[in-house]
Structure 1
């Protein structure tokens, strides 16, 4: 069994394709999905999808570049109070298109961490072109108390080691399969297997051999296959380890069939 630790069913080009995407992923051995929020306006629809499908869990949070409602710490904590919401985020810093490193992104990130600590739920962290500030804020806000995931990890080994020291899991996306990702593959080979996760970030970052197309949760299998090759392990072992890691971090997520461990 595989787990897609970060996807966005609700951002697929055609919403009616959600059921088809879910069926295709099941056919590839994907047994659980973390459908990640990027705004709070979608909360009710994300919960409804998760309630229809026990294999889908969800989150609450505002993307670092989001422009919708921006709730305070208390409101975020209240919004996170639902059994199908298992994490706070995605949150974090994205300096790729914000070269002035806006203070509002850092403050929003801090609010999410504080809300996560209030409710005792892990954090889903988006960090792009901001490794130093991400690490500093995680440390200053005591994020290790709840832990979480650095999604779409692409940094070097020194950054990986620092994030691991903060208690976070590192999730690898389709970028791992890209031709120019040798440095990331080298780092992926060094990260302890019990701290790795895999994801699609669907509908973005489709892996080889689907680059240029809309990403799908089914394609997480390609990430697992690449990681298995990088680590010199059978695909089944990577599937088993990354699935166990996910449910260790999120014990409240429904995980019928976890013992199967099959890819």
Structure 2
């Protein structure tokens, strides 16, 4: 891997305040590491403006807008109407970050389901893919996806389910996002899935500033670490690095409706 391949970070919260004061540096470092394109998900109605402004200034940053299940206290039913208005404007490449998080103690599961179902309906209405956040709720999310009947699929961010669940997502047109978690030796099941699932179903991600890799576990994550995720994936898989880089980027392009020439 002497030449730096072009890579796609399919999940990076570059708008978060953690990057204030060094966002341009983080982006420059990412580009120097070969990370040419980044998908920036929204998590609350309050940060949609920030996401859209950030991406409007760089044609290789792509916005997604959504209501994240971990920010439930900040959501209101009328935010679904506001999301519909934003999606109608056409800038968003996906609906996300959305999903179910039953790992949270005392999670209001009914409220999470309400917002997930509402956003899946919007994704279907506007023919957009979705970016999924799922913890301890893969079967419930898969059921919701089947009921929603999405045409475009999406990306399951930081996939942590079983091989059977992975195959079910793939059958529904989804890619599975792999990031810093595969850098930990204890993540044997996850590393095995990253090594054996079809390459056409994988996406690279960081979730920066969260989910740091093992070698930087005490530091905020950053988008340049996609190159390290890529390096680990190359160690796990049989395909040559150029094929892995090209295919994971093509996968993100396919899901988001971006031309291959990007």
Q: Same fold (TM over 0.5)?
A: yes
Which has the higher mean CA deviation after the structures are superposed, 42-51 or 111-120?
Answer: 42-51
Residue matched to 1:93? 100
Structure-2 residue corresponding to 1:21: 26
Match of 1:197 among 203, 208, 224: 203
Q: How far did 1:10 drift?
A: 1.6
Give yes or no for the alignment of 1:165 onto 2:171: yes
Q: Find the residue that maps to 2:196 and give its secondary structure.
A: coil
Bigger Cα displacement from structure 2, 73-82 vs 195-204: 73-82
Whether the aligned pair in 2 keeps the contact of 1:122 and 1:148 (CA below 8 Å) is yes
Query: Which residue does 1:59 correspond to in 2?
Result: 64
Distance, in Å, in 2 between the alignment partners of 1:166 and 1:240 is 22
Runs of at least 5 residues in structure 1 that lack an aligned partner in the other structure: 259-263
RMSD: 1.7
1:7/1:36 contact within 8 Å kept: yes
- 2:53 matches 1:48: yes
Per the alignment, residue 109 of structure 1 pairs with 116
> 1:237 — aligned with what?
243
CA distance in 1, matches of 2:40, 2:247: 20
- Which piece of structure 1 moves more, 197-206 or 130-139? 130-139
CA distance in 1, matches of 2:55, 2:89: 11
For residues 82 and 32 of structure 1, what CA distance do their matches in structure 2 show? Answer: 22
User: Hey, what's the Cα distance between the residues in 2 that align with 1:72 and 1:34?
Assistant: 22
Aligned pair 1:31/2:36, yes or no?
Answer: yes
| Corresponding residue number in structure 2 for 1:152 | 158
Is the contact between residue 204 and residue 248 of structure 2 (CA under 8 Å) also seen in structure 1?
Answer: yes
Residues 160-187 of structure 1, C-alpha deviation per residue, up to 9 Å, x if partnerless?
A: 0111112111110110111211111111
SS at match of 1:58: strand
User: CA separation in 2, counterparts of 1:224 and 1:82?
Assistant: 34
SS of alignment partner, residue 80 of structure 1: helix
Matched, 1:118 2:101: no
In the alignment, the residues of structure 1 paired with residue 38 and residue 166 of structure 2 have an alpha-carbon distance, to the nearest angstrom, of 24
- Please state whether the residue corresponding to 1:225 is helix, strand or coil: helix
Q: What residue is the counterpart of 1:2 in the other structure?
A: 7
Q: Deviations over 1:130-172 (max 9, x none)?
A: 11111111111213x2211100011121110111112111110
Question: Structure 1, residues 45-78: CA drift from partner, whole Å, max 9, x if none?
Answer: 2111111111101111110121223345443221
The two structures have a TM-score, normalised by structure 1, of: 0.91
CA distance in 1, matches of 2:238, 2:89: 40
1:69 counterpart residue number: 75
Question: Aligned partners of 2:137 and 2:249: how far apart in 1?
Answer: 28
